[in-house]
Amino acid sequence: MSTDPHALFEEWLAEARLAEPNDPTAVALATADAQGRPSVRMVLMKGHDESGFVFYTNLDSRKGGELAANPSAALLFHWKSLRRQVRVEGPVEPVSDAEADSYFATRGRDSQLGAWASDQSRPLDARPIFEARYEEMRSRFEGRDVPRPPRWGGWRVRPVRIEFWNDRAHRLHERRLFTRAGEGWSEGLLYP
């Protein structure tokens, strides 16, 4: 068995990129507010290495507020075509401004403009209001690069638990659990 969950995740992600028809980096992100009330939504993982799993969002969104108030999260990758899932749990930290700027620069222009136009998770009286704000941003930045909005950034989930789940016949699934042990990892199995 591997003792490096990040290497195993990279292997599984490579297989998912070949097998999943849509968004193999889509992941369910679970957060909780300061009172412990949970919330979950899908996001796209935009980076992964030994330091953690990275996604980006409007920092004033519901998830941004929950992560600021309660800096812990859980992720769930579900690759149905492979009959696999990976669960990740751990504290979160903001990515650096340089890292957020670098990723933002790779986004499509319309997505960049949308980040400026959207007050993500806030009430919207009517769709035309948002569309007008988008057009304002398009005019504002016409002919020049779109910088990252100050309220937009990324979070890194620093895992302390990573579970790899394989579907097996008769619900006799295989579950491998890696838990942070100092600078390394310990590994064990869980009953299905």
The pLDDT tens digits of the residues spanning 118-164 come to 999 889 999 999 999 999 999 999 999 999 999 999 999 999 999 99
Q: Of 182, 12, 184, which Cα lies nearest the Cα of 86? A: 12
The mean pLDDT of the chain is 95
**Residue type for position 114:** G
Using the structure block, give the residue that is written with the tokens 């998770």. Answer: 121
CB contact set of 25 (below 8 Å; sequence gap of 6+): 13, 44, 45, 46
Residue 1 has what pLDDT? 54
Contact 74, 30 (CB under 8 A): yes
Q: Which residues are catalytic?
A: 171
- Is residue 139 exposed (0-12), middle (13-18) or buried (19+ Cβ within 10 Å)? exposed
Residue 3 confidence (pLDDT) = 75
| % of residues, the chain, pLDDT over 70 | 99
Other CB atoms within 10 Å distance of the CB of residue 105 = 12
Q: Which CATH class is domain 5-106+150-190?
A: mainly beta
Q: Is 149 left (phi over 0), alpha (psi -120 to 50) or beta?
A: beta
Q: What is the mean pLDDT of residues 47-75?
A: 96
- Write the DSSP symbol of residue 124: -
pLDDT, position 71: 97
Higher pLDDT, 3 or 177: 177
Q: What is the pTM of this model?
A: 0.93
CA distance 79 to 102: 28
| Amino acid 73: pLDDT | 98
Domain extents in the chain: 5-106+150-190
Return the SS3 of 165: strand
Question: Which residues have CB under 8 Å from 158's CB, separation 6+?
Answer: 51, 52, 90, 91, 92, 93
